[in-house]
């Protein structure tokens, strides 16, 4: 078992990296790797031909179960929310820009279906062969390739994310103007037909699907005297809004793909807003 433990420890950082990319949480990644160790301890290691590969498969399956559970029982999305003012990149702001790009990539990974995310992360980021990925998700090698291909169409490279920031901001500025002006047709033009809106309210999570329903609600969201400031929310373009007395009303983040809004996430829970480190109103 000592040799097995040594091999596990040698793989720990890699397994943690897979877990973090899959789940977007260091704590969850630690839990997944610990569970993999417990499963290894119960396994007859003489039956394992390739221990690193076995561990990758186990971690992948545990992550897949966690992601599927999240889709069935959505959790509040912003326990570790990072909100920064979006003044646009400057030559002296490359570190902050790189950080925001990394956050944006993580946020877009969260928008993928669990199997798509697993195929993309394991193959494109960790070079796991598609036949192994197929075994993890219970599909053929060709099906695993298709999952990764669909994910790539949704995930932008860091370079493309940087270029796209201004384009994304233009889309959501147009969305905000249409929402405040009640322009239903413009809202429909800007929203992907399958857009998903998630709202974190004091009473729990509310999920709305489809452009028509999201646009209908958006037309009623502009309050008189509400002040907005452009921010990056976990690297995604968005806004913080305040009442005239400076009380925060909401945080809203947008995922924009190919010029259309595919995901909108809003936090309106006053208790959560008070607990966050938000920028000051302009």
Is 20 in the same domain as 112?
yes
pLDDT in tens, 7-25: 999 999 889 889 988 887 7
Is 147 in the same domain as 193?
no
Is 140 in the same domain as 34?
yes
- 164 pLDDT band, cuts 50/70/90, is low
| Structure token digits, residue 180 | 């405040």
pLDDT for 81 equals 60
pLDDT in tens, 61-100: 999 998 888 765 554 444 456 677 665 544 344 444 444 4
For 97, the domain range is 2-70+81-154
CB 278 within 8 A of CB 240: yes
* CATH code at position 258: 3.10.450.50
pLDDT for 93 equals 43
Is 125 in the same domain as 226?
no
Question: Which of 129, 154, 179 is a domain's end point?
Answer: 154
Question: Worst-scoring range by mean pLDDT, 3-7, 42-46, 137-141, 257-261?
Answer: 257-261
Question: How many domains does the structure of the chain reveal?
Answer: 2
Residue 92 lies in a domain: yes
pLDDT for 169 equals 84
Instruction: Tell me the C-alpha distance between 12 and 4, whole Å.
Output: 12
CB 273 within 8 A of CB 256: no
Is 195 in the same domain as 120?
no
173 has a pLDDT exceeding 60:
yes
Is 150 in the same domain as 224?
no
Question: Which of 120, 154, 188 is a domain's end point?
Answer: 154
Is 146 in the same domain as 175?
no
Is 138 in the same domain as 42?
yes
pLDDT for 211 equals 92
- 232 pLDDT band, cuts 50/70/90, is confident
- 157 pLDDT band, cuts 50/70/90, is low
Is 93 in the same domain as 225?
no
Instruction: Tell me the C-alpha distance between 99 and 122, whole Å.
Output: 22
**In terms of pLDDT, which residue wins out, 86 or 237?**
237
Averaged pLDDT score across all residues of the chain: 81
How large a percentage of the chain has pLDDT more than 70? 80
Residue 165 lies in a domain: no
Q: Once rounded to an integer, what is the mean pLDDT over residues 126-151?
A: 92
Going by C-alpha positions, the residue among 230, 83, 104 that lies closest to residue 159 is 104
Residue 162 lies in a domain: no
Is 146 in the same domain as 177?
no
Is 6 in the same domain as 146?
yes
Is 119 in the same domain as 248?
no
In a 10 Å sphere around its CB, with 0-12 CB exposed, 13-18 middle and 19+ buried, how is residue 171 labelled?
Answer: buried
Give me the helices (H) in the chain, please.
2-23, 26-42, 51-72, 94-110, 114-120, 130-137, 141-154, 158-181, 184-190, 211-218, 270-275
Question: Worst-scoring range by mean pLDDT, 83-97, 164-178, 240-254?
Answer: 83-97
CB 107 within 8 A of CB 236: yes
Q: Once rounded to an integer, what is the mean pLDDT over residues 145-149?
A: 93
């Amino acid at each position: 078992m000592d040799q097995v433990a040594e091999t596990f420890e040698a793989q720990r950082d890699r397994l943690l990296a897979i877990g973090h990319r899959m789940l977007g949480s260091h704590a969850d990644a630690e839990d997944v790797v610990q569970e993999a160790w417990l499963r290894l301890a119960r396994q007859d290691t003489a039956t394992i031909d390739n221990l690193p590969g076995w561990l990758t498969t186990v971690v992948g399956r545990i992550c897949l179960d966690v992601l599927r559970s999240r889709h069935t029982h959505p959790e509040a999305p912003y326990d570790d929310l990072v909100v920064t003012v979006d003044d646009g990149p400057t030559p002296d702001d490359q570190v902050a820009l790189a950080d925001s790009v990394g956050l944006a990539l993580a946020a877009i990974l969260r928008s993928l279906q669990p199997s798509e995310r697993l195929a993309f992360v394991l193959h494109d980021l960790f070079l796991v062969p598609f036949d192994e990925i197929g075994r993890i998700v219970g599909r053929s090698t060709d099906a695993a390739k298709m999952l990764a291909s669909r994910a790539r169409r949704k995930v932008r490279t860091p370079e493309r994310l940087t270029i796209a920031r201004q384009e994304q901001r233009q889309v959501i500025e147009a969305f905000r103007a249409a929402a405040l002006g009640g322009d239903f047709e413009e809202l429909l033009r800007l929203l992907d037909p399958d857009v998903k809106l998630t709202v974190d309210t004091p009473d729990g999570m509310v999920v709305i699907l489809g452009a028509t329903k999201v646009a209908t609600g958006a037309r009623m969201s502009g309050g008189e005297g509400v002040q907005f400031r452009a921010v990056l929310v976990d690297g995604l373009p968005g806004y913080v809004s305040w009442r005239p007395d400076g009380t925060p009303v909401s945080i809203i983040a947008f995922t924009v793909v190919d010029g259309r809004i595919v995901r909108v996430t809003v936090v309106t829970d006053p208790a959560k807003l008070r607990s966050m480190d938000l920028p000051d109103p302009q």
